[in-house]
Amino acid sequence: MLARPEDTAALLEQDHAGDGDTWLRLCEEYARLRDPLWRALLTAWPPVAPLPTLLRRIGVTQLPDFARFALLPASQMGRELFSGRCAGEILAGNAMHADIPPGAPGSGMDGWLMTMLAQDVGVPSPTGGTAPLAEALRRRAEAAGARVETGVEVERVLVRGGRATGVETAGGRRVRARRAVLADTSAPALYGRLLDRDVVPAGLHARLERRFTWDLPTLKLNYRLIAPLPWRAQRARGAAVVHAGRDLPGLVDWAADLGAGSVPDAPFALVGQMATVDPGRAPAGGEALWLFTHLPRDARDAGAVEEATTASERMLDDLAPGWRDHVIDRWRQSPADLEEADPNLGEGGVAGGTMQLFQQAIWRPTTGLGGARTPVAGLYLGSAATHPGGGVHGGCGHIAAQLALRDARWWGRPLARAGVGATRRLQAEPPRW
């Protein structure tokens, strides 16, 4: 579902004169930077190859201002760029797809990128849900000669002489890896459970135990409805994803409540209307709807889950009166439910760890080289725990696979040895800071 920049600009111009022109300027700047910017963001860290092109398009004299722009909190970005209310709230609502508070550095860049993607490619979704997408990937892999096994638990990554040689399953079966092992697991699972402790440098253990931070716990409510939500706001009807519940000052309060360990009385939520983008997700006239909000890190018990559920449904009462009359049933996924279904979703976080700046780039998942490489030769971490992080679906695994293929070539082996050595040195000692 795609809204043209001109349509958005026209609405913002109605909110405040001049904001429409500012919006179009932002879209033009995005279009100019788009290709090298995304190549820089979605490639192995550091982004050496796309960086020169990106810097040329930004311009030497504009580079300091662009760096500042990239670090702006969403709340500040909205204030600086726009005179009205609506544009800043569009940026802030999109920024909240990550777990960076609207007043924290970097949240503005998240909001800008999300809004520009929506204007550029819309909100694409595979027909029939994500299962057909996974099956398509499986068929393609098998056509290339791969063998795909699911439902088999790996208990241990086997290491000999500092190199990953395979994995051992829960049933005791050993699978040999001739070239590489790619782990699509959380960082704590790989370094704390799947690898023998003496294989992992002491400094890496210390950093994970002291510093690694999960993203905020998620509460997800799933509904089957006999009809779409009767939103008061007409433009919410037919939208694939609705940012519901709070304006910009309210988002600041919401984030502060979460940071203080309190379940917010008035939540902010992402609401997905899946039959809107794919009518096959529900019977004719019906809707498949989910609601996604957060809990405080230290309040994930049953009482907090019930409190947040009540607050979220009360919010829908205000925004879509009569919606309860459309409900066939509800399936609730608490943070504990999410982690039980997928151990990678530690504490109910869905992004592989916080997306805040202190755990990005060379600090993701801990201080190192910022990529998929691990201190074990032939072992790569290809999950959301690594750069570029959660929400870039498949991006982390793609980067890990590319690195593994490069390292396996004759000219890549010396670089691989140097990279593993540098990683081990960086993570050998516990941090003093």
pLDDT of 47 higher than 90: no
Tell me what pLDDT residue 2 has: 64
Counting residues of the chain whose pLDDT is more than 90, the rounded percentage is 89
Q: Are 431 and 367 in contact (CB under 8 A)?
A: yes
User: What kind and span of H or E run contains 302?
Assistant: helix 302-319
Tell me what pLDDT residue 315 has: 97
Tell me what pLDDT residue 193 has: 95
Residue 99 sits at the vertex; the CA angle it makes with 260 and 350, to the nearest 5 degrees, is 115
pTM, full prediction: 0.93
Alpha carbons within 13 A on the beta-carbon side of 15: 20
SS3 call for 237: coil
Delimit the CATH 3.30.519 region(s) of the chain. Answer: 218-347
User: What kind and span of H or E run contains 187?
Assistant: helix 187-189
Q: Are strands 163-169 and 154-160 parallel, antiparallel or unpaired?
A: antiparallel
Scan for tokens 């997700």, then name that residue: 281
Tell me what pLDDT residue 81 has: 97
- Contacts of 412 by beta carbon, 8 Å cutoff, 6+ apart: 406
pLDDT of 277 higher than 90: no
Residues 343-395: tens digit of each pLDDT: 999 999 999 999 999 999 999 999 988 889 999 999 999 999 998 888 777 88
Tell me what pLDDT residue 230 has: 97
Cα(304)–Cα(430) distance, integer angstroms: 36
Closest CA to 365 of 97, 164, 196, 186: 186
Cα-Cα-Cα-Cα torsion 281, 287, 293, 298, nearest 10 degrees, comes to -70
Cα(281)–Cα(347) distance, integer angstroms: 29
- Contacts of 411 by beta carbon, 8 Å cutoff, 6+ apart: none
Averaged over 253-281, what is the pLDDT? 94
Residues 132-169: tens digit of each pLDDT: 888 999 999 999 999 999 999 999 999 999 999 999 99
Residue 141 sits at the vertex; the CA angle it makes with 387 and 401, to the nearest 5 degrees, is 25
Cα(353)–Cα(108) distance, integer angstroms: 19
Residue 272 β-bridge partners? 241, 290
- Contacts of 100 by beta carbon, 8 Å cutoff, 6+ apart: 106, 107, 110, 355, 356, 357
Cα(149)–Cα(179) distance, integer angstroms: 18
Cα distances (Å, whole numbers) of residue 185 to 190, 343, 344: 6, 8, 6
Closest CA to 42 of 393, 413, 430, 418: 393
Cα(406)–Cα(102) distance, integer angstroms: 39
pLDDT of 1 higher than 80: no
CATH 3.90.25 fits 218-347, yes or no: no
Q: Tell me, what amino acid is at 148?
A: V
Q: How confident is the model at residue 289 (pLDDT cuts 50, 70, 90)?
A: very high
* Phi, psi of 285, rounded to the nearest 5 degrees: 90, -10
Tell me what pLDDT residue 370 has: 85
Cα(320)–Cα(312) distance, integer angstroms: 12
CA distance between the termini of the chain: 47
User: What kind and span of H or E run contains 330?
Assistant: strand 327-333
Averaged over 236-254, what is the pLDDT? 94
Bond into 375 cis (ω within 30): no
Averaged over 42-63, what is the pLDDT? 91
Q: Look over the chain and give the mean of its residue pLDDT values, rounded to a whole number.
A: 94
Residues 194-241: tens digit of each pLDDT: 999 999 999 999 999 999 999 999 999 999 999 999 999 999 998 999
Tell me what pLDDT residue 334 has: 97
Cα(129)–Cα(222) distance, integer angstroms: 14
User: What kind and span of H or E run contains 156?
Assistant: strand 154-160
Closest CA to 214 of 348, 339, 340, 107: 348
Averaged over 18-45, what is the pLDDT? 94
Handedness of CA 423, 426, 427, 428 (dihedral sign): positive
pLDDT of 119 higher than 70: yes
Cα(287)–Cα(228) distance, integer angstroms: 5
Tell me what pLDDT residue 250 has: 95
Tell me what pLDDT residue 408 has: 94
- Contacts of 418 by beta carbon, 8 Å cutoff, 6+ apart: none
Handedness of CA 152, 155, 160, 161 (dihedral sign): positive
SS3 call for 174: strand
